[in-house]
Amino acid sequence: CGKSMTAFALMQLLPPGAPIQGGSVRLLGEEMVGATPAKLRDMRGRTMGLILQEPMTALNPVRTLGSQVAEAIRRHVPMSRAKTRARVLELLDLVGIPDPATRAASYPHMFSGGMRLRVMIAIAVACNPTLLIADEPTTALDVTLQAQVLELLARLQKQLGMGLLLITHDFGVVADWADRVAVMYAGGIVEQGYAAQVLGTPAHPYTAGLLGASVGQVHYTTVRLKEIPGSVASAFRARDCPFAPRCDRHIADCDAAVPPLHAVAPSHDAACIRA
């Protein structure tokens, strides 16, 4: 639906053949689209941090974890070797890795998935970024580890005073942690607003369908979960509403044009002509 691709666009880390064709990305008043490679390299890591989905493939398997955290520090904050090591140990302790002095000499394969993720978080926040982008950081973790990681991110957000953009497909995570939420479908935002608005009174049929297909507080043997028929449309579909073929509210006017985001309530927008 475009969640991770949007994160890579913010960081200007798009794959070859996927340019930004329009729009604007501003951080601290600075325009990111069209910025020089040198400027982007200075902002990545220092102003923006990124946590990738799979820490095992994101970390270098033949380098110690401490050296990988130190690399992020040396790139943006010149300091002595002793001060760099002290900062590495401070960061490992900050993200909850026990015995950081010993574990800094370990390699990624010697850590569990949850611990590797904590190292990724340490790298991402090493230079106290203004914005931290977390791309599905709890994927493949059990429920207990998910809660620990999310609590860690929330604590770091407050402690370091940074903004947090959390990408997830879990509405339970959204309900517990998000202030504002944007729901994406086929490459675009179809609904956005405060989390309580979007989850409490969903205006777009896709949002309503996702919530209907989620296990809530009701007992799973007494309520049948809803399903959304069909599959996600191509992001290149641009003549009509991309959700129209799967929508139970579909009318002829839905085929006339792509519906724009419009206000359905204060601070609550939806891209549906029937919202």
Contact 136, 167 (CB under 8 A): yes
What does pTM read for this prediction? 0.88
pLDDT at 108: 93
Q: Structural domain of residue 162, as residue ranges?
A: 3-169
Give how far the C-alpha of residue 62 lies from the chain's centroid of Cα atoms, to the nearest Å: 27
Give how far the C-alpha of residue 87 lies from the chain's centroid of Cα atoms, to the nearest Å: 26
Task: Please tell me the distance from the alpha carbon of residue 65 to that of residue 108, in angstroms, as a whole number.
Answer: 7
pLDDT at 216: 64
**Residues sharing a CB contact under 8 Å with residue 102, sequence separation 6 or more, in sequence order:** none
Task: Please tell me the distance from the alpha carbon of residue 219 to that of residue 222, in angstroms, as a whole number.
Answer: 6
pLDDT at 163: 93
Closest CA to 170 of 181, 154, 162, 186: 181
Q: How many CB atoms lie within 10 A of CB 222?
A: 6
Kindly state whether residues 8 and 134 are assigned to the same domain: yes
pLDDT at 238: 66
- Asked, for residue 175, whether it belongs to a domain, the answer is no
pLDDT at 178: 92
Kindly state whether residues 188 and 160 are assigned to the same domain: no
Kindly state whether residues 133 and 205 are assigned to the same domain: no
pLDDT at 214: 78
Q: How many CB atoms lie within 10 A of CB 102?
A: 10
Kindly state whether residues 121 and 240 are assigned to the same domain: no
- Asked, for residue 225, whether it belongs to a domain, the answer is yes
Q: Give the three-class secondary structure for 66.
A: helix
CATH of residue 128: 3.40.50.300
DSSP state of 254: G
- Sign of the Cα torsion 53, 55, 60, 66 reads positive
Q: How many domains does the chain have?
A: 2
pLDDT along the chain (275 residues), means of 10: 88 88 88 89 90 85 95 90 94 93 94 90 92 86 83 90 91 89 93 95 94 69 80 75 90 90 96 93
